[in-house]
Amino acid sequence: MATTTTANRLGLLVAATVVLVVATAAAPALGAAPAAAAATPPSPFRRVYAFGDSFTDTGNTHSTTGPYSFGYVSSPPYGATFFHRSTNRYSDGRLVVDFLAETLALPTYLPPYLSSNSNSNSNSSTTAVGVNFAVAGATAIEHDFFARNNLSIDVTPQSIMTQLDWFDAHLLSAGTGERVADALFWVGEIGANDYAYTVIARDTIPPKLVRTMAVQRVTAFVEGLLQRGAKYVIVQGLPLTGCLPLAMTLARADDRDSVGCAASVNRQSYAHNRRLLAGLRGLRRRHPGAVVAYADYYAAHHAVMRSPARYGFAEPFRTCCGSGGGAYNFDLFATCGSPQVTTACARPAEYVNWDGVHMTEAMYKVVAGMFFRDAYCRPAFKDLLAMKAQGKP
């Protein structure tokens, strides 16, 4: 690896990122009530629909449909911290969308759409809380675009628009019982996989083109939700993708920013988010009868990386469930859950990074708190709840 050229390293980053994001009685049941439900006052939202990629996927992918080097999401130690077994979440426990369910005091976590319960029986008690359509590996741009440019890794070829099709199918099967206007729509981060393709095709698919196309697709997706009657939508931006151990391992050693992460990758995420914000402002002007909020993942992640100890993290860079030691404890060819890596670090709550690309439950919990209680969601989450309770806007 030490002799790999910069181009080859970035090429590995593309291949790894694209394929990776595709992809006991004491344990809480998958549909168990969130821990905060009993103590939290009734929420104005009783149903949530979620979309996105592996940062939001609660079980729409499994080891058999995941990426070749991260194809072990169904194996321990995934899920070990909270569920005490794998639930096909790319973490050791709960994700931001799970903490959203707890914050809203929903009786269960959101079921994945491709599970038998939510896909074939939309009126079951499980889907009464909503459905999670997010799938690991999803892109913002449609799969055909990458296939036409000979850049397709055909593991999970779904795009965000595929998830809109799934949502339509769900509504059709649910009949008239689904009140779209009363639901909260959670659009998790989407687009990181698209940029991964640009690294090995920079001449034919420049990053600026992907940024334009990706943001256009995301805004078109959100507009599609609004046209279907959605009135309350929260859209996440991209996190600091340059702070993921995979990116830092493969980037040049001198490609670092003020928080020690891959500067070029973070600049790309920052530019994407600025363009996304402009797109969301346009949606607000065209749909004044809806609330379109922005969850600033980039700023929240940056705050943690700037002062990790303040948020309880002793290891901002090292992978908790990884191998290879060194600064990042990450080896692309011996990843979490594989036969070579069957155990994780002793104290995941002190780590930001779980498997080299996804966060620990502790990090997701911190980010969720910043979204739902602090100023990293605009309009503020509490104001969105108040507007819903008052029947506004």
pLDDT tens digits for range 93-144? 999 999 999 999 999 999 999 985 556 544 455 568 999 999 998 999 998 8
Residue 272 a catalytic site member: no
At 149, the pLDDT band (50, 70, 90 cuts) reads confident
Indicate whether 46 pLDDT > 50: yes
pLDDT tens digits for range 234-289? 999 999 999 999 999 989 999 999 999 999 999 999 999 999 999 999 999 999 99
Residue 358 a catalytic site member: yes
> Cα(244)–Cα(316) distance, rounded to whole angstroms?
10
Question: Of 69, 91, 358, 374, which is the active-site residue?
Answer: 358
Residues 6+ away with beta carbon under 8 Å from 341 = 321, 322, 323, 334, 335
Question: Of 53, 54, 118, 143, which is the active-site residue?
Answer: 54
Question: Of 57, 98, 296, 355, which is the active-site residue?
Answer: 355
pTM of this prediction? 0.89
Q: Name residue, tokens 């709550």.
A: 349
> Cα(117)–Cα(120) distance, rounded to whole angstroms?
6
Domain positions in the chain are 48-306+366-386
Q: What pLDDT is attached to residue 22?
A: 33
Residues 6+ away with beta carbon under 8 Å from 189 = 52, 53, 55, 56, 236, 237, 238, 239, 297
> Cα(57)–Cα(156) distance, rounded to whole angstroms?
13
User: For the domain bounded by 48-306+366-386, which CATH number is listed?
Assistant: 3.40.50
Residue 355 a catalytic site member: yes
